[in-house]
Amino acid sequence: MDPKYELIFQTFPLSSGFVLKNRILMAPMTNSSSNEDGSVTDEEIEYYRVRSGGVAAVITACAYVLPDGKGFPNAIGADRDELIPSLKKLASAIKGEGAKAILQIFHAGRMAIPDLLPDKQPVSASAVAAEREGAVTPREMTEADINKTIQAFSEATRRAIEAGFDGVEIHGANTYLIQQFFSPHSNRRNDKWGGTIEKRMAFPLAVIDAIQKAVKEHAKQPLIVGYRISPEERENPGITMEDTLRFVDALADQNLDYIHVSVRNFWAGSIRDKSDDHSRVIMIREHVGDRVPVIGVGNLYSPDDVIKALKTKVPLLAIGRELIMEPKWVEKIANGKQDEIRITLSLADQKQLVIPDPLWNMITGVPGWFPVED
């Protein structure tokens, strides 16, 4: 291994007691490759397996905790006990290659696809549609709905424990339900779940608390619990960086193993104020200090990009697209073969790279998303 990459391979301890073998995680990426009933397919399991040998941990695509929370077709399900054997196969495949297996759990809220829902009606904190073409106005959740959903996150955690996962990541980012409760755009409530910023934090914090209680009740060994967050929203009113820094102060007190900052570009500044070019990942890291580890992500294409990011003192990094194109990304760096890392795809690569058909169709169907050569 080239000595300049040694920082990538330093171990990292988490508060739960786990020690990550290096600083690289597989980012959670939608692949729409499960069965319609939410069970994982053999093709999907193999896709994860071949990418689990080098990274310290694999964070799966998001798994819905309730039937009314589906955000994607053919998503992973964690909403009922019948899916535990399926989840166990996925966890075993990841862990069998040496990575920690982390199940990302979520509810899509108003971003759910109506045709995938039992009653075709998305729900959210308030009856406010997203600012996007064709958005459906959600039904405002009742107190009973809210309590049911909090419990659903707890139950999904129990299923992850029974399936053998090493952890769960709470998906509080990317405009889904947990973020919708924190956002002043989607949350216009005037009860204990909305209004002030403290009340808009109440639902995310209640979900974390329910998950922590599930760990204490059901886990016979430690469980990683992480939280994914989006720093800002474009909408007005919307989440500002000032809001987020207050929120991460609260998150830092929740005994989490990490905060995962969801951005498209690690180095990018504000999406609300183009004159503010300070990296949102670095801002959050500087704000929380050593109270809770931060995972950065976004446009980290090469080993040199990763080293540059790690030198900012952001301790952990997640990569996604790079592992799709090069499943042995970490191993090749470890073996001094970084020059052999694949940086483009050809239309003949799908089978060799073990990419499921639905994901391959997305890759080849969105021009410019991946560097695909004919």
Half-sphere exposure of 199 (CA within 13 A, CB side): 12
Q: Which pLDDT tens digit goes with each residue over 50-96?
A: 999 999 999 999 999 999 999 999 999 999 999 999 999 999 999 99
Residues in CB range of 56: below 8 A, 6 or more apart: 12, 20, 21, 22, 23, 24, 25, 99, 100, 316
331 part of a folded domain: yes
Enumerate the β-bridge partners of residue 304. Answer: none
359 part of a folded domain: no
- Per-residue pLDDT at 374: 72
Is residue 253 helix, strand or coil?
A: coil
Q: Which pLDDT tens digit goes with each residue over 169-222?
A: 999 999 999 999 999 999 999 999 999 999 999 999 999 999 999 999 999 999
75 part of a folded domain: yes
Q: How many other CB atoms are found less than 10 A from the CB of residue 4?
A: 10
Query: Total structural domains in the chain?
Result: 1
Closest CA relative to residue 249, chosen from 286, 223, 196, 212: 286
CATH number reported for the structural domain that contains residue 20 in this entry: 3.20.20.70
- Per-residue pLDDT at 174: 98
40 part of a folded domain: yes
Q: Which pLDDT tens digit goes with each residue over 8-63?
A: 999 999 999 999 999 999 999 999 999 999 999 999 999 999 999 999 999 999 99
Type of residue found at 234: R
Q: How many other CB atoms are found less than 10 A from the CB of residue 221?
A: 10
Cα four-point dihedral sign 117, 119, 125, 130: positive
Distance CA 160, CA 154 (A): 10
- Per-residue pLDDT at 18: 98
- Per-residue pLDDT at 368: 87
Q: Does 47 qualify as catalytic in the annotation? A: no
Q: Which domain holds residue 114?
A: 3-343
**Do residues 232 and 245 make contact, with C-beta atoms less than 8 angstroms apart?**
no
Type of residue found at 167: G
- Per-residue pLDDT at 117: 97
Q: Which residue carries 């290096």 as its tokens?
A: 22
Cα four-point dihedral sign 29, 33, 39, 40: negative
Enumerate the β-bridge partners of residue 24. Answer: 317
Assess whether pLDDT exceeds 90 at residue 373.
Answer: no
- Per-residue pLDDT at 57: 98
| In the chain, % of residues over pLDDT 70 | 100
Give the confidence band of 135 by pLDDT, cuts at 50, 70, 90. very high
357 part of a folded domain: no
Catalytic residue among 176, 227, 258, 301: 176
Structure tokens at 36: 């319609």
Q: How many other CB atoms are found less than 10 A from the CB of residue 242?
A: 10
Is residue 317 helix, strand or coil?
A: strand
Average of per-residue pLDDT across 116-127: 97
355 part of a folded domain: no
Average of per-residue pLDDT across 234-263: 98
| In the chain, % of residues over pLDDT 90 | 97
36 part of a folded domain: yes
Q: Which pLDDT tens digit goes with each residue over 325-369?
A: 999 999 999 999 999 999 999 989 999 999 999 999 999 999 889
Give the confidence band of 109 by pLDDT, cuts at 50, 70, 90. very high
Assess whether pLDDT exceeds 80 at residue 372.
Answer: yes
Structure tokens at 285: 């890291």
**Do residues 84 and 162 make contact, with C-beta atoms less than 8 angstroms apart?**
yes
Average of per-residue pLDDT across 273-282: 97
240 part of a folded domain: yes
**Do residues 280 and 231 make contact, with C-beta atoms less than 8 angstroms apart?**
yes
Distance CA 333, CA 339 (A): 8
Q: Which residue has the higher pLDDT, 137 or 366?
A: 137
Average of per-residue pLDDT across 251-276: 97
